[in-house]
Amino acid sequence: MRINTAFDSGNIDVIEANSSDNIRLTIRKDHQSDFYQWFHYKLFAEVGEEHVMIIENAGKSAYPDGWKDYQALASYDRDTWFRVPTEYDGEKLTIRHTPEQESVYYAYFVPYSYERHLDLIQQAQQSVDCYHELLGETIDGRELNLLIIGEPSEEKNTIWVTARQHPGESMAEWLMEGLLGRLLDDEDGVARKLLDENVFYVVPNMNPDGSVRGHLRTNAVGTNLNREWAEPSLEKSPEVFYVLKRMQETGVDMFLDVHGDEALPYNFVAGCEGIPSYDERHKHLEETFKNALLAATPEFQDEFGYEKDEPGKANMTVACSAVGERFKCLSYTLEMPFKDNADLPDEDFGWSSTRCQRLGEDVLTAILAVSPILRKV
């Protein structure tokens, strides 16, 4: 029996793996940070024997509530990921699985590799509607890629969509794959109409270094990018620095920042009601987008989510608030679950990569509903 993590987004340390009924593991912290929760490892197993894998430091991870009712993911072919029985006792997370093949992968959520990211960029570039721009390089020397979709023009709205500031939230990039697939489909009426009225600036992965390193929440030097939007720096947060600089050149009429939430088993949005300039216009834009997404898919709901900020009490280092205030635009954080959508549960797969993609397609329907009023007073 062996465990290996020497691959893209691998993360686990082995304390002991001598017998299949007592495999003791710990999750590694993000480099230069105390955050941890993402895990991804490969087990060389005894076929037909139950394996009991205990993550001993689960209770001290970034979001212990995330383990309640959580079921880990497993895959034989790295394409289909299914849920396996998982228990949490307030301290340790125990995953039980009887492998049917010699080796199995386990992960916190369906991984989205850097190689797949590079494929996504090159495939998008094949479209005549898409222009690929290198915003800059990360601390580890990876690409920070921007896709510009639609012909830029003064009359059109500028819509920015970013994902995966928190690299362990791989669902965010799965959503981007669905969104891009639809937006670049020239036989899709919603996409064609959207590109008549808007230009999209899409960053499918804001944090490639953290993604490859198997981090939960930070980049190569332990920076939480979603706390850097007041004053990003090339030393600590080049990813945010380059994106914000480009936003200042293009202006922003709408911003959507895509994330995953460890604890809540729902899809939901968080707005910027706490920013100084929040007003009726802003509220109307939020309501219009939200109602259109509610009408588009039962995967989205507005009952469960984060507590709303008090007026003027927003954290201005967070992307959604910083961009909403600076550009006086509709600005939303979109959150997806690691677990499942409790309104539409799926015992075998939970919240899956395909469901992320579908939600990405439906987000475009909601953007179409709000597009005509993004600039109107």
**Quick check: is 303 catalytic?**
no
Q: Does residue 215 touch Zn ion according to CB under 5 A?
A: no
Q: In angstroms, give the least distance from the CB of 205 to Zn ion.
A: 13
Binding mask 163-182 for Zn ion (x = CB under 5 A): ---x--x-------------
Least distance (Å) between residue 233 CB and Zn ion: 20
* 142 vs 259, beta carbon nearer Zn ion: 259
Q: Is 29 in the site for Zn ion (CB under 5 A)?
A: no
Among 22-30, 93-101, 161-169, 293-301, the segment contacting Zn ion (CB under 5 A): 161-169
User: Which residue number, 105 or 351, has a Cβ lying nearer to Zn ion?
Assistant: 351
- Count of positions on this chain that bind Zn ion (CB under 5 A): 3
Name the phi and psi angles at 367, rounded to 5: -65, -35
Report the 3 state secondary structure along 245-302.
HHHHHHCCCEEEEEEEECCCCCEEEECCCCCCCCCHHHHHHHHHHHHHHHHHCCCECC
Give residue for tokens 């001598």.
Answer: 18
Packing angle of the helix pair 189-197, 171-183 (nearest 10 deg): 90
Angle between helices 353-370 and 189-197 (to 10 degrees): 50
**Cβ–Cβ < 8 Å for 170, 109:** yes
Residue number, 117 or 166, with CB nearest to Zn ion: 166
Measured from the CB of residue 240, what is the shortest distance to Zn ion in angstroms?
14
The window from 23-31, 129-137, 186-194, 255-263 that contacts Zn ion (CB under 5 A) reads 255-263
Ramachandran angles phi, psi of 150, nearest 5°: 100, 155
The distance of closest approach from Cβ of residue 299 to Zn ion in the complex, given in angstroms and rounded to an integer, is 18
Catalytic residue among 228, 286, 335, 361: 335
Query: With binding defined as CB under 5 A, does residue 259 bind Zn ion?
Result: yes
Site string for Zn ion, 114-153 (x = CB under 5 A): ----------------------------------------
- Which lies closer to Zn ion via its Cβ, residue 99 or residue 265? 265
**Which tokens go with 269?**
């949005």
Which segments within 46-189 are labelled E, that is strand? 51-55, 72-75, 82-84, 86-88, 93-97, 103-107, 130-137, 143-149, 157-163
* Phi, psi dihedral angles at 44 (to 5 degrees): -90, 115
Q: What is each CA distance from 148 to 174, 259, 326, in whole angstroms?
A: 18, 21, 21
Q: How far is the CB of 367 from Zn ion (least distance, A)?
A: 21
Shortest CB 238 distance to Zn ion, Å: 19
Copy the structure tokens of residue 296: 């588009």
Under DSSP, the state recorded for 176 is H
Q: Rank residues 97 and 164 by Cβ distance to Zn ion and give the closer one.
A: 164
Residue number with CB closer to Zn ion (169 or 340): 169
Q: Which residues are catalytic?
A: 335
Chain residues binding Zn ion by CB under 5 A are 166, 169, 259
